[in-house]
A and B are shown apart, each in its own frame.
Chain A
């Protein structure tokens, strides 16, 4: 349901900065269903990739082979992301707070961490410079925390006006999609508010999976069930990907 909900959030003819995993799956599903004109941009420098199967890393050869253009890493960040040419960025999170700030750096103290996470990657500038950001993350009381151990990527800071004060140009996280439902920033305070639950999930369950007092919209909505087409396309994509992984040669050999 997370994948389908994320896919539906992508409008046709927009440019999307895609990460591996769920964002890649969701955007490839969108391109095969309601958004054939979606432009997939991966941080390895592939612009307009149209992979037949899901890539297993952001720089898989299938992305380069099917892209409209392949550019260097400085170019993808400086020419394409930084000026705001990319409509939507997709981010994951190890920890997220009520203002959509994201931690992917450490759990615990920075100098003596309990868990060392991969770090920033492209996320700080994706969070700042994409037109808007969609965060996809599983909702648990451990990941949805009152206070981040480290702010890797900016959401709304401490609330309304912080992004503007910092001179950050993108709108910030407009949607947080979880396994429970969808959270959106309150138009006034920018605090994330539960606006939708997925079928079979209650607001109480979403509250229990949140480490702060979760705000719930008065007109709480329910996500529509995945359609037969969405499920069919998604399963076909997963099957084709599994088959491609199976047939990967295990050792290098010159391909002629």
Chain B
């Protein structure tokens, strides 16, 4: 049964330094508040997994939480670059960031294999591209029935999967709807899971086309109203497009980012233990 907890306790209990952590959400229901809590609790050396690392991953990378990123598209959706991500890859600031790079189809299938208890997945993908040459987790395999060669990618099984959803009931069953992205797969693929929700209700009415994650399939559920902002929660609030645009200016420069980190999350880049920061 999922335990209903607070965001800070959930993160403290479930996520350790060096863990592989996936915060998923495909434009919709991005667990932004949970990402901020990881920064506040100063998690280090994380392997961050996500199909579409967007501004919350830019913040985690800029704050020095990540050692490695497993991903398929890193940008500020509809706006442009992720400047903290670029600074880490191009200039090792605040520390070097290792990349394990896939396509969306590859990542989606890796989660499906993880959720299915399989060692790998097959797909038609990557043919003729340079991705396989730079990514160890892309290979080919012959179909045992026809001999046809297809692409193989290994399962992703994060230590912790974190997603956001519309609501939960008192027993910790979670209901989400709208664009459901890869949320179900990441919860089922992960050893431990934390689901933040807009609200906890006594009993929820079923919604057409919803997707319920049963309490027994998750570790913890934490009520965090507005926890997806500036992304959105269908039928709760809209995407804050201006915040995505504003992030471009905040993130371009190390010092404006540092100011944001201090003002919004109360975290100073100067608090880093000596020797952990890259050269400025």
Q: List residues of A whose CB falls within 8 A of some B CB.
A: 20-21, 43-46, 55-61, 63-65, 70, 72-74, 77-78, 81-82, 101, 105, 110, 113-125, 128-129, 150-154, 157, 162-163, 166-169, 245, 248-255
A45 touches B180 (CB 8 A): yes
Q: Which residues from 216 to 274 on chain B have a C-beta closer than 8 Å to any C-beta of chain A?
A: 225-226, 228-229, 232-244
Q: Can you name 20 A-B pairs with beta carbons within 8 Å?
A: A56-B244, A59-B28, A59-B181, A61-B239, A64-B179, A72-B182, A74-B111, A74-B182, A105-B101, A110-B130, A113-B90, A116-B85, A116-B86, A118-B74, A121-B103, A124-B105, A150-B130, A154-B128, A167-B124, A252-B236
Residue in contact with A59 in the complex, picked from B26, B82, B131, B242, CB distance below 8 Å: B26
Known contacts A124-B129, A168-B128, A250-B243: A57-B180 contact under CB 8 Å = no
* Complex-state Cα separation, A110 to B237, whole angstroms: 39
Smallest CB–CB gap between A190 and chain B, Å? 13
* Complex-state Cα separation, A120 to B123, whole angstroms: 16
Q: Provide the main secondary structure of the chain B interface.
A: loop
Interface string of B60-92 (1 = CB under 8 A from A): 000000000001111101100110011001100
A113 touches B103 (CB 8 A): no
Residues of B within 8 A of A166 (CB): 127-128
Chain B, interface size category, equals: 35 or more
* Complex-state Cα separation, A57 to B232, whole angstroms: 12
Question: Which residue on B lies nearest to A124, using beta carbons?
Answer: B103
Smallest CB–CB gap between B140 and chain A, Å? 11
* Complex-state Cα separation, A254 to B225, whole angstroms: 9
Residues of A within 8 A of B209 (CB): 70
* Complex-state Cα separation, A20 to B104, whole angstroms: 16
Smallest CB–CB gap between B223 and chain A, Å? 13
Smallest CB–CB gap between B7 and chain A, Å? 15
Residues of A within 8 A of B225 (CB): 252, 254
B77 touches A70 (CB 8 A): no
A154 touches B240 (CB 8 A): no
* Complex-state Cα separation, A169 to B27, whole angstroms: 29
Query: Closest 9 A-B residue pairs measured CB to CB?
Result: A59-B27, A154-B128, A121-B73, A118-B75, A252-B237, A57-B77, A252-B226, A56-B78, A77-B105
